[in-house]
Amino acid sequence: MNHTKIQLSDKEIVEKYLAGDVDSFELLIKKYEEGLYRYCYRFTNDGEEAQDIAQQTFIKLFENIEKVDLDSPLKAWIYTVATNLCRSRFKKKKNLNFSEIEGDEKENEGSSANYFEDASIDIPKEVSQHELKEKVSFALTKIPKKYASVISLYYIEEFSYEEIADMLEIPLNTVRTHLKRAKDKIVEYVQEYNN
C-alpha cells in the first residue's frame, strides 16, 4: 500500500474507495481506530467492549459509506455512531442510566476555554509531562462518564463545542458545563494524586 495515501483527506479517501480502491477503507480505519478506541473506553471502562464498539462503528461506516455526506466531517459522523452504540450498549445492560452521561438538560453554566492554563494546580516543578499525563489519565478514570466523554471529545479528539453538542445530543451550554466540571474534578484528583 502506498503511504502517501494517508495524507489524503477523508473525502478523497472515501471517493477512492467508492471508485473501487478497496484498500482505501483500511486507511480510514488506521486513521481513526486508536482515537475511537480511547473514546469508547471512556464510556465502557472495558477494553474488550471498547474494541467491539469501535469495530461495530467501522462496520456501520462500511455499510453506509455511500450515504455519508462528504461535505460534512467524517470524523464527526464516526464519533456520533460510536456514541450511539455506547448508548445502546448501556441501555441494554441497564448498568447505567444514560441520563447520567447525557446530563441535566437544564444546566446552564459557562466555562473558561483556558481553564487548565488559568487553574492553580499545585504541581511540583520536577513533575515531568509524562507524569502529568499519567495523573490526568488517572483522574479521567475517576470522573463521571458524562464529564470524561466531553473532555475526551474536546481535548483529545479536538471537536468543537457545537460538534460535541450534536454528537451527544445535549445543549451547547451543557457541553460547557460538563467541560468546566470535568476540569474542576481533574484538578481536584491531580492535586490529591500529588499528596
- The CATH code belonging to domain 3-93 is 1.10.1740.10
Distance CA 137, CA 154 (A): 15
In this structure, are residues 6 and 104 in contact, taking their beta carbons and an 8 Å threshold? Answer: no
d(CA 62, CA 59): 5
Q: Where are the domains of the chain?
A: 3-93, 104-194
Low-confidence ranges of the chain (pLDDT < 50): 1-5, 95-126
Is residue 14 within 8 Å of 24, Cβ to Cβ? yes
Residue 21's pLDDT is 94
Q: What is the CATH number of domain 104-194?
A: 1.10.10.10
Give the pLDDT confidence score for residue 145 in this predicted structure. Answer: 81
Position 130 scores a pLDDT of: 67
Cβ(89)–Cβ(44) below 8 Å: yes
pLDDT in tens, 118-155: 444 444 444 566 676 677 777 777 888 888 888 888 88
pTM as predicted: 0.60
The pLDDT value recorded for residue 176 is 94
Closest CA to 86 of 126, 34, 122, 51: 51
